[in-house]
Amino acid sequence: MAMASILPDDPTLEEIRAALAPLIAASAAFDGFGDAALVDAASRVRIDIDVARLAFPGGGRDMVDAWFADIDARMAAKWPAETLAALKIRERITALVETRIDLLAPNREALRRALALLALPTNVPFATKLGWRAADGMWRLAGDTATDYNHYSKRAILGSVYGATMAVFLNDESDGHADTRAFLSRRIDQVMRFEGWKHRRAASKIERPSLARFVGRLRYPGR
């Protein structure tokens, strides 16, 4: 069972949101990301339901957003920068994605419901934003500081790999999700080969002014 954060005596809506997110996910396997899951989660930490609803003004979308943010935070907590720095880049990305799998595994049915909600036509832009946030978070933890087109291409590619891996994970009944991990390994192998090809290609070209590089530098001032 997911554990909520310990709330202070007078919590902010953001603190309430963070505390309720994993509890909502635990209930969402049965009730979906809706009011029933929110009521159950709020009762577990003795939060007034009307206050809890204020923490999720967007309803189910906000609940999914908060749960995924909780996964982001737990992943980051497990892999401090100094630990990741000792690994090769391929190992870093693999470790981060596998950590997400482990964190999501107890609530796999809730993930299925979350992805179904995000797949609704009105939620596709929001789903894209959450996917980008996950990929960006992993690359940042992995130490990526690219400011040119690589900043965007790396995140787009990792987002694609992560999405495909989640699709496999949802239906994986193998021991320890071995099939999902093997699929992930193959996909990351492909990505690493592609990245190597990009670097070799870039090294053989004369560098020209790049709009993508200029825009990227706005994200990392001083680099």
> Tens digits of per-residue pLDDT, 143-173?
998 878 888 988 999 999 999 999 999 999 9
* Nearest in space to 172 (alpha carbons), one of 118, 123, 104, 115: 104
Secondary structure (DSSP) of 139-195: HHHTT----SHHHHHHHHHHHHHHHHHHHHHHT--SGGGHHHHHHHHHHHHHHHHHH
* Nearest in space to 35 (alpha carbons), one of 6, 56, 12: 56
Domain spans, the chain: 13-219
Strand (E) or helix (H) holding 73? helix 60-78
pLDDT per position as a tens digit, 171-195: 999 999 999 999 999 999 887 776 6
Q: 104 exposed, middle or buried (CB, 10 Å; 0-12, 13-18, 19+)?
A: buried
State which fold the 13-219 domain adopts.
Answer: Tetracycline Repressor; domain 2 (1.10.357)
Q: How far apart are CA 203 and CA 139, in angstroms?
A: 22
Q: 191 exposed, middle or buried (CB, 10 Å; 0-12, 13-18, 19+)?
A: middle
**pTM for this model (two decimals):** 0.83
